[in-house]
Structure 1
Amino acid sequence: MKVDISVVLYRPRWDELKVAVSHLAKCSDEIKTVHFLLSGGQAEYDQLRAMMFEFGSPLSYAIHHRFDNLGFAGGHNFLMSKIFSKGAENVLLFNPDLMIEPGALTEFISSIGRHSDSANGLYLYGPTLKSNSNPERQIVDSAGIFWTSSGRHLDLDQGCPWKRYENYRVVDGLTGACLLVPRDTFDYLVSVVGDFFDPAFVAFREDAELGITARRLGVLSICVMQEGFVHNRGNPGTTRKNRLVNMLGVQNRFLIRWRLGSSRPGNRAIAGVRDLVVVVASLTVERSSLPGIRFAYAIRRWEKSVCRRIENLRLPQFQDVI
């Protein structure tokens, strides 16, 4: 079964994107269409078209061009709505720093099919991701998302030696770098919440929030043991030098606080102390992050209204099985 792929681009790193697309081209018989949402000017649009032309006809693709930036969350919401409206059964969210080996996508989709045939309910799926950061040894990039007592989310086993996991594991969330969204799951979450991803997040943490919100609504996140998916994340520490990244990280921490309410994972007291530390740091050391707190505070009532709507629902009783 072929799958549609959703790729959101804003100021792409072209060399990295070319590597990712070259891997997709080798898997063209496993892919229905690659859908790009490019936010940028005409020159970037022309460059993307020229790059795709180099790979020839085997890889089917569509480019959606906008001059505004919807962000990761809003961009994938936009693309998934279009793709599912054309009758797709599944959409794979794909980061341009990801590489897929031939055959891995077919095996992944087949594993999902076997799971959905034997389990009752709605699910989100993601493969175990291998890191490309150390060519000398195989290490884990992400085996799902977990939360700390202070309300931080991290990638499970990131940096640990690669190993064989159970075929299907329920986790707190799945990285948005490679996330398989079934049509029924998308329709259900959108019908209840209004959007798949919270568009206020723009970028960072939206996948972690999705995992918790989905589970509150009876949708489980399943990490599938699968070889052949490699994430070229680079050095995570370098992002701390980026003021925009820092600001969005702070902003989204507080969006999660108000959107999830008492359902935010972690120890309430410890997470509250960390919230206070983040606020103090933004007021003193990292003042470039202060606008993020202000924005999150400004829309807190809207986020809280979503939280209350979910709390007041009578949820369908899905089986908590894998």
Structure 2
Amino acid sequence: MQPAHRQLALVVVNYASAHLLGRNLVSVEAEARTVCPDVIVIVVDNWSGDAQRRAVRQVASAHGWILVESETNTGFGGGVNIGMARAITEGASDALVINPDARIDGESLTRLGAATSAAPMALVAPVIEDSDGRTWFAGIDLLLEDGTMRARRKRLAGDEAPYEPWLSGACLWITREVWEISGGFDNDYFLYWEDVDFSRRVVAAGGTLALVEDARAVHDEGGTQRAETESSRAKSEGYYYYNIRNRMLFAVRHLDAAGVRRWRRTIPRTAREVILRGGRRQLLQSLTPIRAYVRGVRDARRIAQQHGRDQGGRRWS
């Protein structure tokens, strides 16, 4: 993994997923201890109710994990920031940030650690598969022309369209060096796109991104994102809303005025694409995706309009 003086922490942000901690984090900890016997486990529990808080306390106590109880729901990025701060206080030099619905084996952890040992300024991630063995994440490019996404494998030789790669926050190995130069996650995203933003700021600060293709993690996406409908593809309202909204938040954070205008013009189209990730059948079963579309488009436009006013008082149509 890493030289002996490096200390690994497992950082998990939990929200109403105590049952997943008992199923997945226990396994991840056992695998991690084959690599780093004195691994630290830190669970940040975003508030979701009394029953869940009691359940998380019980599982954390049973396994000797450090539990950080948030009085509110700070979102994913905010939770990671809390967990990383505690990990550093506990003496960790490296952290594996992993979702409650994800797991990884010891051999893959060894490969991630070796990658950062060779390059401490690298933000590192494995290839991620779903529970059926299908590839869920193997590198994704953000296309800067309009803010859409493309799988890394679909890059075409000679294509000059500008893009930026990013790594999924579902499973990230973060060194203390990378954390300090990047400044951590941006709390304003709350959910989704915070890993896109984080990846960009790591590179902007002088770090690098590395996808370790011979390391594998498993992510059961349905454990935290699936909606309560008959459609197995349907996502939660939060998934739809924040993916629509946060695309424009990223734009105003990182693009010039022309770029923001380009992305704003395509808000309705890209919002439809987000909704259709859950399939068409859901549209006949629930108003959730329609409600998320309306809210997301409205707030994305508000973000762009406010940015336009802040940049000189111009109201964009």
Name the TM-score, length of structure 1 as normaliser.
0.71
Residue 153 of structure 1 aligns with an amino acid whose one-letter code is: M
Aligned: 1:184 with 2:188: no
Q: 1:263 to 1:5 in 2, by over 3 A?
A: farther
What is the DSSP-based 3-state SS (H/G/I as helix, E as strand, rest coil) of the residue aligned with 2:91? coil
| Structure 2: unaligned runs, 5 residues or longer | 155-163, 276-288, 312-317
Residue 98 of structure 1 aligns with an amino acid whose one-letter code is: A
Distance 1:80 1:63 in 2: 13
Distance 1:263 1:181 in 2: 32
Distance 2:93 2:249 in 1: 31
Distance 1:276 1:210 in 2: 25
Residue 70 of structure 2 corresponds to 66
Contact 1:257 1:264 in 2 (8 A): no
Residue 320 of structure 1 corresponds to none
Residue 249 of structure 1 corresponds to 243
- 1:259 Cα shift? 0.9
Residue 221 of structure 1 aligns with an amino acid whose one-letter code is: L
Select 1:150's aligned residue among 146, 163, 166. Answer: 146
Distance 1:80 1:208 in 2: 18
Contact 1:3 1:33 in 2 (8 A): yes
Residue 88 of structure 2 corresponds to 84
Identity %: 21
Contact 1:256 1:264 in 2 (8 A): no
Residue 233 of structure 1 corresponds to 221
Select 1:103's aligned residue among 97, 102, 107. Answer: 107
| Structure 1: unaligned runs, 5 residues or longer | 117-121, 159-170, 191-195, 308-322
Q: C-alpha offsets along residues 216-252 of structure 1, whole Å, 9 cap, x if unaligned?
A: 3332211123334222224988565532221111110
Q: 1:288 to 1:223 in 2, by over 3 A?
A: closer
Residue 239 of structure 2 aligns with an amino acid whose one-letter code is: V
Distance 2:53 2:295 in 1: 31
What is the DSSP-based 3-state SS (H/G/I as helix, E as strand, rest coil) of the residue aligned with 1:111? helix
Q: 1:216 to 1:3 in 2, by over 3 A?
A: same
- 1:84 Cα shift? 1.7
Distance 2:46 2:193 in 1: 20
What is the DSSP-based 3-state SS (H/G/I as helix, E as strand, rest coil) of the residue aligned with 1:223? strand
Residue 190 of structure 2 corresponds to 202
- 1:75 Cα shift? 0.8
Aligned: 1:33 with 2:43: no
- 1:23 Cα shift? 1.2
- Aligned CA-pair RMSD: 3.6
Contact 2:44 2:70 in 1 (8 A): yes
Residue 251 of structure 1 aligns with an amino acid whose one-letter code is: R
Q: 1:155 to 1:75 in 2, by over 3 A?
A: farther
Distance 1:226 1:259 in 2: 33
Distance 1:52 1:264 in 2: 49
What is the DSSP-based 3-state SS (H/G/I as helix, E as strand, rest coil) of the residue aligned with 1:47? helix
Distance 2:111 2:250 in 1: 34
Q: 1:202 to 1:155 in 2, by over 3 A?
A: farther
Report how many residues are paired.
272
Residue 139 of structure 2 aligns with an amino acid whose one-letter code is: G
Distance 2:292 2:129 in 1: 33
Residue 20 of structure 1 corresponds to 24
Residue 158 of structure 2 corresponds to none
